Amino acid sequence: MTEAPLALVVDTHTHLDDTAFDLDRDEVIEASRAAGVRHFVNIGYQPERWESSHALWERHPDIDFAVGLHPQLAGEYNTVLERELKRAIDMLNPVAVGETGFDFSKPTPDLEAQERAFRGQLEIAAAAGLPTIIHQRDASGALIAELDRWPNLAPIVLHSFDGTHRLADWARERGCFVGIGGLATRRGSAPLREVLPRIPADRLLLETDSPYLAPAGSASRRNVPANLSGIAAVLAPLWNMSGEDLCRLTSLNAVSLFGLPAVEGIT
């Protein structure tokens, strides 16, 4: 009996420093590697998470990280935090700024606070020449309008893409990278699966957003990076390819986008 080859893959959006992993973090990371995950990008979305992401990288050099302020926390953005963010970028050597963006799913933080935090981080990303990882919820139009004011940014990642046809077409025109994961596998995501093929395969990234967004059929509500190749197998037919090919292609995209070390076994 021949075993299916292990699909090697990069998980471009994790929160492995989350308390959901406090009891078994190292086991989760080890099981993810055993399931083919060859590199991780952990998202430090507030100052304490910049520290915990950096600490994780010190113990696990295959877990690179981004630093930023989540739009739901935009009310915390001020000149002190901005200075700390610049310092974190200088000192900690992250691969991207984020996640930042717009989230209009709740009444707060208000638009003014979200704009200030988003614009501040875009300016920092532009100055540092780093990619920006964008979180967007119920804010497609405002996101397009804002990013159109910033034509010279380093590459943009639309993480956990859940946008409209219009946002997908805009992203393709702009050359954005688009992160897809467990959300797109869910039964209620049929409209999203209709939009996704508008994104060319050379702009796709795979991500779990662990511990969030467990895929359809998952045994646990807690998502883990080990689920990623299964997610790829479900989504790959949208681009008429195999799960292994989607893993390989998106890993190469991630390596060049984030400047990751070459991933052993993926060429």
131 vs 243, which CB is nearer to Zn ion?
A: 131
What is the size of the binding site for Zn ion (CB under 5 A)? 1
Query: Which position's Cβ is nearest Zn ion?
Result: 43
Say how far apart CA 62 and CA 163 lie, in whole Å. Answer: 30
Cβ of residue 13: shortest distance to Zn ion, in angstroms? 6
**Both tokens assigned to 187:** 């039964």
Q: Are 267 and 9 in contact (CB under 8 A)?
A: no
- Residues with Cβ within 8 Å of 191's Cβ and at least 6 positions away in sequence, in order, are none
Q: Are 157 and 195 in contact (CB under 8 A)?
A: no
Cβ of residue 98: shortest distance to Zn ion, in angstroms? 9
Cβ of residue 100: shortest distance to Zn ion, in angstroms? 11
**Both tokens assigned to 163:** 């946008």
20 vs 43, which CB is nearer to Zn ion?
A: 43
Cβ of residue 213: shortest distance to Zn ion, in angstroms? 9
Whether omega before 27 lies within 30 degrees of 0, making that bond cis, reads no
43 vs 226, which CB is nearer to Zn ion?
A: 43
160 vs 229, which CB is nearer to Zn ion?
A: 160
Positions 15 through 54 that interact with Zn ion (CB under 5 A): 43
Which one-letter DSSP state was computed for residue 260? P
Q: Note the residues at the interface with Zn ion (CB under 5 A).
A: 43
